[in-house]
Structure 1
Amino acid sequence: MMHSRRTDASPFAAHILTIAAAVALVGAGTPQAVAQGGLPAIAPHRAVYDLELESSQDRLGLADASGRLALEFAAADCEGWTVNMRIVNRLRTRNGTSRTIDSRSSSWESADGASMAFTLRRYVENTVDEETKGFAERGGDGKPGHVAMEKPAEDAFDIPAGAVFPVEHTKRILKAALDGERREVSLVYDGSEEKTVYKAITFIGERRAPGETRLPAGLGEELKSMASWPVSISYFDETKTADGEETPSHQVSFTMFENAVASNLTLDYGDFSLSGTLSTLEFPDAPECPAQ
């Protein structure tokens, strides 16, 4: 864990990498989704979300927060998915001080969800403040998975049996929505906080018919023919409790379309929350992958 290394970057900065990882859960899929799981094809895409401060507790002294989250999901030659993310936030306190935090991450996850490579780097005022790099594999036959870290220091540790990576988690959520289910529970490892594995509890709302979800003018024409669902995910670090009860570390709410593109984001970290408005959406060409 690297919590102690983050405190000098303000309490808000401690969540930036986790924000990026959380949004990644709603934007990926598998190049062979149709062949492997009977799911609709999930589109590679590039999306940009404009971020604004929605609410914050007075004790934080936060006057404003604004920024941008850019995501790119690309099919990696039918072998898996690469996910590139960058989130830039400028935080301004009530006493007039400000700080710019720029977090970037890149990951690759195999199409079968068995392995994931990840790199995360955070800059504070253009200076590298934190770097994480590692490789994770799921365990088979009910066995624990394994993670090998390169940065911030070489390390190796196990993750619980049954833990999945972000792409596989997305597939589970989408399948649950298509099957008319309202709840999905998974253990998720994304590498954003080294050894932390989250229990992710997802609630899925009523299906919305194509055209019912409001989108910014001139944006998302491809989405107007697709159904969508309101989705809310709560992430629990089970090593942390309050008064003997589980309290979510953070929550993410969004509208999920049939191709797994997300809109109308709310990123809630308890002491503050951000809203994300989809401002740019592009669909690059995807490779034609053979059925397996």
Structure 2
Amino acid sequence: MDQKIITLYDEYTHSQLNRKDFMKRLAILAGSTALAMTILPMLENNYTAAAGFDSDEIEVENVTYTGVDGEMKAVLAKPKGKKNLGCVLVIHENRGLNPHIIDVTKRVAAEGFLALGVDALSPLGGTPADEDKGRELIGKLDPEKNLQNYLKGLEYLRTRKDGNGKVGCVGFCWGGGMSNKLAVNDPKLKAAVAYYGAQPNAVDVPKIKASILCHYGGLDERINAGIPAYEQALKENKIDYQIFVYEGVNHAFNNNTSPTRYNEAAAKLAWSRTIGLFKKQLAV
């Protein structure tokens, strides 16, 4: 697919560009409205087409914990019959706790961890089925309260009797940016993994105590513009970090429900590196 079309879709999903204007611009790039309508399903997430993750070795339940202004909803997954587990907070993209991120939470659990996928939209009623609505609601969250709700999620994991007290986080897109924010704001965090997420301000990097792992798509110019300053600050402050740029792949390359952006090879390699860090930092 033409990279200009993928870039336009990325702009649409990460800006205030409304659907009507997006479709107009898509029609121009595609050559007609009819072709735009044919292309659209290949751009949007398709949760029914992608195989959902399942395993008899894990147990999954819906849980809540106390947030700033009420209960935070989350999906918790862990290996059956296991205790003393390293814990991982899973942070969704900018459309809420969708089926893809729930799958990721289960996959983390299948690797031997207690995983918690938090719904950041809990204060606004939870993640809606309409992804465009979810994107609108994300923009209505109070940034500071949202950060505190995730910090409380980390504390919730530390109090779990089936956990070992060691906690890390992994986030995707909007969640990747939040993963970096948690590293800045929680000195007890052991590991923070950010998939194509916005970088923190360089002046805040000295606060980081966690091991940092960042995954970026080589074609993701919007997010990648912030890499040099972040890496320089990590080096200057002697933070334990790794940054990987996967050439020729797009933003959201890990999302197997996004057919035009998913890259299986890059996703598998990034995943192996992510789990490797968690096994190193969160094991007993």
State the TM-score, normalized to the length of structure 2: 0.29
State the TM-score, normalized to the length of structure 1: 0.29
Structure having the larger proportion of residues in strand: 1
Structure having the larger proportion of residues in helix: 2
Task: Between the two structures, name the one with larger relative contact order (CA 8 Å, sep ≥ 6).
Answer: 1
